[in-house]
Each structure stands twice: as C-alpha cells, then as structure tokens.
Amino acid sequence: MNGTLTAQVTFALTRILTVNIDDESLRVDLEDGRTISIPIGWYPRLSHATVAERTNFQISGAGYGIYWPNLDEDIGVEGILLGKKSTESPASFERWLANRKQSHSETRA
C-alpha cells in the first residue's frame, strides 16, 4: 500500500439543555452530561450587555445554538465545543457599540 494513511474523525454535536450567564462566564449544560464554561470576555457583546439583555436568550436551532435577540448575538454549540471566540471584527463591534449608545440615549430623552 503506497501513500499516506488518513484518518477520518466524525464530530458528533450534542444539544444544549440549559444556559447560565453572569458577569464572568457563560455556562452551558449539554445533553451528553458535560458542562462547558466560557469566559464572557470571549464575546464582547455579552460582556457589554446588561443583566436583562444577557438573560433574554433563546436556545435555538433545535438545541444547537443560543441566540440573544437584543444583542444580535448567536453562539453555536460547535463553536463552544471547539473553544472558538467571537469572530466579530473590531470595526463591526465599534459600530454596534455606537448604535447601542445612540439607542440608549434616545430612549432616555
């Protein structure tokens, strides 16, 4: 047999059962029994959110993601399992922060 041996890895995703979030971390309980804890700083929109905004989430995609409608933030279980941080560009985040500040000042006026 000539050539290079290859191995194929099958990555089976597990569903999210519960989500807990505080000022320090995002904790996700998975249906396979694991609990994954991620620093909230990995997701700038979450770290800049109010407690009310953080707790307003939906487990989406048949259990394979979490969505925060007020923050327009989506985090998938695959990214959580692979340890991926937010990939939002600094320019996009700055625009989001500017729009957020403008929206908050308009609601106070």
Residue 84 lies inside a defined structural domain of this protein: yes
Distance CA 86, CA 70 (A): 17
| Residue-by-residue pLDDT tens, the chain, 109 positions | 566 777 776 677 899 999 999 999 999 999 999 999 999 999 999 999 999 999 999 999 999 999 999 999 999 999 999 999 999 999 999 999 998 888 766 666 5
| CATH number, domain with residue 104 | 3.30.2020.40
The 3-state DSSP class for residue 90 equals helix
Number of folded domains that form the chain:
1
Domain that holds residue 65: 16-108
Task: Note whether residue 42 is domain-resident.
Answer: yes
Among candidate residues 26, 45, 51, 47, the one with its CA nearest the CA of residue 90: 45
Burial class (CB in 10 A: 0-12, 13-18, 19+), 33: exposed
**Tokens for 99?**
């729009």
